[in-house]
Structure 1
Amino acid sequence: MSAVLLGASLGIALGATYQFGLRAGASAAPPPSAAPAVVSPLADPGSAPALRPETLSNALPASLRAEPRAAAPVRDLDCLTQAVYFEARGESPAGQAAVAQVVLNRVRKAGFPKSVCGVVFQGSSRGAGCQFSFACDGSMNRGRESLAWAQARHIASRALAGAVMTAVGDATHFHTVHVTPGWSREFRQVAQVGLHIFYRNGRSQAKTILAEAPSTPPAPELRVAEARLVSGPPADAIEVVEAAPAPLHAEPAPAEAAAAASPAD
């Protein structure tokens, strides 16, 4: 009998100890929580440069969609980067953007391939003469300058994202100042940017931009297109807000020429 009472007493004591342990654990301090995130205050909004509204004149963006375009295909970017690098590696960013603009202008012109890579390498597979000399003269087999390549890729990426070079308008041809190709007499001269002279073939109804260069010409501006879809036939599917141009003068239009038959440089 005493053994039974002793066991009962021991069980009660153990149970009390267990309950006390639970209460003690419950009253223990909870584990420290994570420190609150520190958010630095934003800089004074008034100190940020104001966004300048951009306009578009003559030259059209790579994308005509109403909504922002997704990233350009890598293949398009690679081909346009090669054109900018090999044709205008030593030019200023404006000069490189002008070359990129010519490629994109050709994509939308009749008589040229309808893709960036098709335009850049037109004629290289047929042995009929390349539109861009680097595609046929072995330039691509040489080493690349990493910084210059990165700059060319940046310019190409911006062009494919919708940036336009208004100084060259809808030009589809160019050559360096060191040569005078025969086809240049049949085209309208648009502008000179750096060491390249740019031309259009005269079939477009857009006006030719001919800026009279002052003694110290300002650098041509690289503008971002403000284009939106509007009603009307496909040919009129983009509404353009033109920038106020530099002083212009008119030039008589020479005879029209077939665009696809003349190389770019």
Structure 2
Amino acid sequence: MRPCIALFTLEGAASAEAALRFAETHADRIALVGWSSPFRAGRALSRALRRGGPGLLPYLFVNHALPALSGRPGLAALCRGRGIPALRLGDEAATIRALRDSGAELLVSFHLDRILSPALLAVPRLGGVNVHPSLLPRHRGPIPAFHGLAEGRTGVSVHALTPEVDAGGIWAQREVALPPGLSASAAARNLHLAALPLLEEAIARIAAGEAPPEPPPRLPYAPWPDRAARRRAGVPLLRLSDIGAAWRAPAGGWR
């Protein structure tokens, strides 16, 4: 029997369409939706700008804030229409209470810009899984599609959630060949969509009682690229077409 699910996400351009498709498919089993605010101030944003400089700002805006500003009904409309409880992530005690009260058995995350604590991850009896657009253990970190494009090898992984960044055992993984010339933003969007069948596979295995896979070997963390790294890679972070894709409704329309 498929588990009840809590879906946590930052509804940015990289993952908004994939998260919405997943939520529509499983709406009858989603017990809670948690959003991370794209406007929260914090050390993560400061670190990104300190390392990458102001050239990261357009990418951060489109991939962290633009869908929230578009005014189009995405996950929020789905929650209202189906009566799914929703909350803004931030206060850990409130999130743990909501997660416990929801009865969710499995936590699924897309493009989440926060590390979840051991206490929170202990609430769902089946733990949690995350979609990460790289071939883990390569490219742990905040912008894996950029690093994959720079190396010429892209893919996506569904891995167990742990309190460490992108370090859990890998439930499913697939190498994904992308069209040449994509930006990091467009690549991330394509990779999140490519992850949906893998996520179904992982959930089925978890529901069948399989133990989580062993964590993979630890490879170096892949941080926000600085200006020199971006010049060497020759990979654009963003193109105007990416902004249009983020602003338009997903295939099938917003519900």
Give the structure-2-normalised TM-score: 0.30
- Structure with a larger share of its residues in helix: 2
Structure with max Cα Rg: 1
Q: TM-score by structure 1 length? A: 0.29
Normalized per residue, the structure richer in strand is 2
